[in-house]
């Protein structure tokens, strides 16, 4: 019972404050707005606005200096780009060959290879075919024709698997004593490493 009496005697100040404020608001008439008492100086306001915009423009125009590491990274990137572009341009200029106009009449140039060169290129082709083609035994590689045209050597022939009679034909292009292309049934063996 003692607790009930205490609860009944408790005053809720928040509710009392709200009730008092609402009574005050009802009894108080609204204040009239003063007319004509406030004078605005338009020129002064324009000057303030102009000054604020000038300050903003000046802040935007003044660039803060970048840290040294950012400048260094930019320099490295630009240097790499310049070196790569320069090397590409240099390679294209050095490798660019100017050809004279086509002759009015072509002349015969010997396209045969001597025996030493023929054996050298046949062995080069045989070595590449044997290393690239998987087999259980020894491959028989026969180069049926080989000739040169300018700096390039062209060879064609065939190879057979052990104990088989089917001929598998190949074509090869050799430049500067390196095989540039070796095709077997349309498959490029030079792509195999």
Do the domain assignments include residue 128? Answer: yes
Do the domain assignments include residue 135? Answer: yes
Nearest CA-CA partner of 138 in 107, 110, 159: 159
Domain count, the chain: 1
pLDDT in tens, 117-175: 889 999 998 888 888 888 777 888 989 999 888 888 999 999 988 888 888 899 999 98
Residue-range definition of the domain harbouring residue 161: 115-191
Do the domain assignments include residue 165? Answer: yes
* Residue 159 Cα distances to 46, 54, 148, 162, 186, angstroms: 95, 86, 21, 10, 15
Q: How many CA atoms lie within 13 A of 9 on its CB side?
A: 6
Do the domain assignments include residue 97? Answer: no
Do the domain assignments include residue 100? Answer: no
Element at 68 (helix H, strand E)? helix 68-95
Give the CATH number for residue 146. Answer: 3.10.450
pLDDT in tens, 132-145: 888 777 888 989 99
CA gyration radius, the chain: 48
CB-based contacts of 119, cutoff 8 Å, min separation 6: none
Do the domain assignments include residue 57? Answer: no
Higher pLDDT, 97 or 178: 178
The answer on pLDDT for 21 being more than 90 is no
Nearest CA-CA partner of 123 in 139, 111, 136, 141: 141
The answer on pLDDT for 85 being more than 90 is yes
Q: How far apart are CA 84 and CA 80, in angstroms?
A: 6
Do the domain assignments include residue 35? Answer: no
Q: How far apart are CA 12 and CA 14, in angstroms?
A: 6
What pLDDT, on a 0 to 100 scale, did the predictor assign at position 67?
84
What pLDDT, on a 0 to 100 scale, did the predictor assign at position 1?
46
The answer on pLDDT for 11 being more than 50 is yes
């Amino acid at each position: 019972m003692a607790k009930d009496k205490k609860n009944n005697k408790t005053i809720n100040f928040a509710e009392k404050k709200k009730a008092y404020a609402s009574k005050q608001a009802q009894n108080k008439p609204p204040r009239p707005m003063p007319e004509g008492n406030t004078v605005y100086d338009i020129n002064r306001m324009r000057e303030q606005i102009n000054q604020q915009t000038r300050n903003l423009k000046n802040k935007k125009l003044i660039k803060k200096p970048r840290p040294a590491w950012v400048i260094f990274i930019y320099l490295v990137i630009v240097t790499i780009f310049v070196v790569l572009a320069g090397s590409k341009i240099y390679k294209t200029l050095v490798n660019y060959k100017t050809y004279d106009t086509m002759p009015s009449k072509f002349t015969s140039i010997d396209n045969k290879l001597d025996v030493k060169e023929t054996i050298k290129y046949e062995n080069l082709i045989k070595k590449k075919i044997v290393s690239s083609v998987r087999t259980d035994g020894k491959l028989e590689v026969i180069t049926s024709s080989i000739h040169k045209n300018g700096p390039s050597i062209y060879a064609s022939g065939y190879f057979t698997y052990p104990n088989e009679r089917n001929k598998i034909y190949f074509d090869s292009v050799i430049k500067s004593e390196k095989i540039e292309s070796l095709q077997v049934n349309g498959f490029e063996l030079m792509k195999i490493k």
